[in-house]
Structure formats: structure tokens, C-alpha cells
Structure 1
Amino acid sequence: MSDLSRLSLNQATVKYADLPGAVAACLRAEIPGIGLWREPVAEYGLRKTAALLRETDLVPTSMCRGGFFTSPDSDQRIKDLADNRAAIDECAELGVPELVLVSGGLPAGSQDIDGARALVLDSLAELAPYAGERGVRLAIEPLHPMFCSDRCVVATLDQALDLAMHFPAEQVGVVVDTYHIWWDPNVYRAIERAAGRISAFQVCDWITPLPEGVLLGRGMMGDGCIELRRMRRAVDAAGYTGPIEVEIFNETIWNTDPAEIAELTAARYLEHVH
């Protein structure tokens, strides 16, 4: 098989597999990395997860997710920051270098998007030094604007960079996720601007028509309209040499055998991304 050395399978792509099942699928397909999610890690156990990764030499490339910083309620903000510190600690124990952050959407009943973004910056200021002390980088992920109201008020790579630039590059970076930013006419200039700040590069494809419930509209590479190899070359040109994660939310893919999905992921990665 051709070079898969940068490939990582995000657990979301094989959502219905438990952690050992996801690990086994990676090993069978000769995929060297895995992007973790906190919930299945907690279900399996943090120490058992660390042991499993050591035994298999599978490299944890990121952890999803932290964030959700936009509550105006002071008590809730204290709880949210505590949960993010716990996520940072989990990353440190597992040797995960990047904690992916989804910023949070507008609070219920609010139309103050600037205020929500200010709360994101305030939370980063609280968490960035804590993460840096533990060798974990906070990775701000911009989400497609259709998620702005309820999930993520950071909608472009430039907006994510504007936030990240307040902090040292080793503390706060950004996620380049093809699904969320491919449409942006400024995306390639933004990727160039992101040199030294790219924490993670995640790939999948945009399929149309979108299914009911746009969250599940991601497709396997090659099934949609994104110029995946062009974007990979752009992040390479920006100096990023790290893992390339495949993260797909799609009910049909989730209902397919994880080993089969891992094999297809490796083949499509070589055909459309590498």
C-alpha cells in the first residue's frame, strides 16, 4: 500500500464502534493515527485507553471536544471552564497534543453574536496558559455558517485566527476542516496566514443534496465537490506536516462495518488527498 503515514481515522467516522473496535479497524487498514472523542474514551476508561494506545502504537492525533464558551450565566461558565480543564487533563494523560474546540452558538434568545464571540475570547484567556503548562494546544475549529446560531459563532478560518493570535502559537491553534471552510473565497489566503497555527487538518467531502439534518451531510472523500488535494497542498505549503484526520458524520457510513470503512478511508485518502 502507498504512503499512509499521515493518515488518522477520527472516531466520529466509525461512531458505532467502541474504542477497541475503532483501534482494530485502524490497525487492519494500516492507519497509524486515531482522532479521539471524549465520550467513548470515558466509556472505555482513561487508563485503559492509554494502555491500549501504548500496546498498539496507534498515535492519538487529537481529542474532540472542548469549548461551548458562550453561556452568559456565570455559574454555567464556571462549570464549562472546569469541564474544559478536565478535557485538557485527559489529553495530557493520553499524550494527545491537540484539544479541538467548538466555540458554542448564540445563547437562547440572544441575537448578540459579537458578545458571544467576546465570551469565547475570554474563555481562551482563562484556558490557554493551563493548556500550555500541560503540553496541550487548544485548537479552535471554525464551523460552517449554518451552525452559527446553535453550535459555533466562529464561522471562518480568519475568525479563528483572529482569536488564536491573542495567544502564543504553542498554546492556541486552529483546525482546518475541509467540510466547514471549503466554500470561503478567502480560504487559501487564510491557510497561508495560518502558518505555524494549524493544529489539525481534517478532511471529508461535501455532498449534495444535503440529507435532512445537515450535521450528517459529510461524505467520503471523492463523493462530493471539495478540492481536497488542492487544500492539502495549501496546508503543506503553510508548513503543516502533521496528521490528516478523516472525520465523517454520515448515518450510512456509521451503519457500515468499521473495518470496511477504515479500508475505504485509506483507499480514498490515497486517491483524493495524498
Structure 2
Amino acid sequence: MITEMDEILELCDRVIVLTLDVNTCRQRREARTDYVPPDTPGYFEHVAFPAYLRHLNRALIRSRTDARFTFIDVSEPRYSDRNESIIDYRTQILNDHIKITDTRLDLETIMKLAADSSCGAISTFCGVTRDNHDGRGVASLSYDAHDLMAYKKLRKICARIREQHPDIRKIVIFHRVGEVKVGESSVIICTSSPHRKSAIHATEMCIDLLKEEVPIFKYEEYTDGEEKGKWKSNEEDKKEKNVAEQLNL
């Protein structure tokens, strides 16, 4: 794939990777008649799709340090309409900026992605590692993600936000993976709109849905040295916090 050709990538300002689930990929391949020679039985399962997954995995790994990569899942039936697909691609590429990265998050850079000349409001949320949890000192947090599934979920979250808040112009979601030390940002979300209320509500909706639905996992490293932390999904972490709030802990 082109994403593995360094001499070609050097010429690219953006790299858009369209992803497919196995069933959609099979259907589209079987609909084509221009393969020479034509696929033999078992070729898709044992050669074509495994090769696609290898290339995709390399692109996902590279994207954690390369800001040019954008992933868009095109498995849904609506993408069979070419005209509708082009309009949707344009919105996602230009207006929804989503990134899972192992580099430090820069608020100024992210806010620039949310800026739009028609907007008078940019609402921003920064999730920062604090130095305590349930009365214990925290040395650092570490995050990991199922990148492909996370990108799919985050794209759907952007679509839901736009359905509920149609005047939102830009949505930017950056989540860091790897170690995030105390005081550093693990997630930054920005939304922009002509007026403040939509942007504020959209940003709140976005972080709530991210916590509930996106497969990102957190590990807490404590300072007391008595016990290691454990990997928890966003959903598990939110449930624990809800229980603590109900018990007034």
C-alpha cells in the first residue's frame, strides 16, 4: 500500500485511509469482474483480506506518530451511493478531526483545527492526569486503545453530535495513548459553533459518549508502591466513579 512507500508519503499533506469490515470487503470484491486472473475459491479469505489487515495495521501503528493520517470506515450501506459518500467524506475530512496518538497533546494546535471564521465560540475540554485517586497518590496514567474500533466509534459520536447540534462546524478529538504523567493532558476535545451554547453542549456530549462507548483503556500507577494498578476501560472507570459519587466518597 501507499502508506508503506516513504518516498510517496513524503509528497502527501494528508493520508486518508478508507476501512472496510470483512463482509463489505468481500461483497465489493466479488462484485468486480476486472481481476486478471479472477479470484480462485478461498483467495479472499486466505490472501486478499489478510493482506489488507496487515497493511491497515501498519498504517494504524504509523498514525500514532504521524498527524497526516485519517481513518474513515466505509462499511455502512449508505456509502454505496457515490455522491452521498463524497459529501460525507468531505465533512469528515475537513470538519471532524480525530486522532489517537502517543505524542504529547498541544492545545494551541488542536484549537486551530476547531477554528472557523463563521464561529464565535470554541468549547474546549482537557482531561488531565491528577495526582490522586480514591485517596491514593497517582504517579502516572497509561492508556491504550483498540485503534480501529476507537476511530469507528469516534466517527459515529461526531455524527450523533451533528444530528443533535446541527450548527456545530468543527469537532476535534485527540486522545493520547502511552504514559501520561501528572499534569499532562490525556484527551482534548474542541467543538466550534456560531454561538456558545451549542459548542458547550456538544463538548459535554462528546466526552460523555467517549467515556461510555470508545474502547480506550487506562492503567493507574500509584506512588505508594504497595499495589499495582489495573487496566480499566473508560466504561468501567465511569461506573466506578458513579458508584463513588452515590456513596459520597
**Shorter-chain TM-score above 0.5:** no
Larger Rg: 2
Structure with greater strand percent: 2
